[in-house]
Structure 1
């Protein structure tokens, strides 16, 4: 089973769409420290989905702890330059609906 960490607010319902595709989703919000991500199951996660780019430094934390995790950014905001090289995929919710994103990630 695919495991994902959904980090940040989920106003669009991406978490439910991912679960509808059979993905096990752990949700985290707030300051995304290494310990918060570890408690959410980062070591076993296949996907790290970030919706709050104020927490973009969590991308480096996620990749440091699990180099194989696929980092997906789902936000209206632009990805900061320092994080662009570590994100595998970045999508704007205005262009990509949650059902399409979930289907693609599954």
Structure 2
């Protein structure tokens, strides 16, 4: 069974490509993210939700509400708001951790 991930937001640091290189099926979503958009992208079955647009941090509680088993990751330079930290599994800065290393750790 393959791992599935949603990469939400712009992916300037290449986390989506790095996950694909590790054999992950990646769906990408951009713009203003809503519950229907996330459901359409496959959030109900996703193993990983990787948020690259910290302005969309309100999606973390939505994702956790829709999928109890999803691992949530913030991969961006900005600090994640306090109100989502309790539901976030991992927060990483691309300047400190290369996308390939992050993908390897998430899948391995």
Q: TM-score range by the shorter chain?
A: over 0.9
For 2:70 and 2:14, locate their aligned partners in 1 and report how far apart those are by CA, in whole Å: 22
Question: For each residue in 1:6-52, what CA deviation from the matched residue of structure 2 results, as whole angstroms up to 9, or x when unmatched?
Answer: 00000111111100000000000111110000000001100000010
User: Aligned-pair distance for 1:68?
Assistant: 1.0
RMSD (Å) for aligned C-alpha atoms: 0.5
User: Aligned-pair distance for 1:80?
Assistant: 0.1
For 1:5 and 1:11, locate their aligned partners in 2 and report how far apart those are by CA, in whole Å: 15
For 1:54 and 1:12, locate their aligned partners in 2 and report how far apart those are by CA, in whole Å: 17
| Matching residue of 1:7 | 8
| Matching residue of 2:36 | 35
Q: Secondary structure at the match of 1:31?
A: coil
Moved over 3 A (4+): none
For 2:97 and 2:20, locate their aligned partners in 1 and report how far apart those are by CA, in whole Å: 17
1:24 pairs with 2:25: yes
- What are the residue-to-residue correspondences of 1:61-72 with 2, within 5 Å? 61-72=62-73
User: Aligned-pair distance for 1:87?
Assistant: 0.3
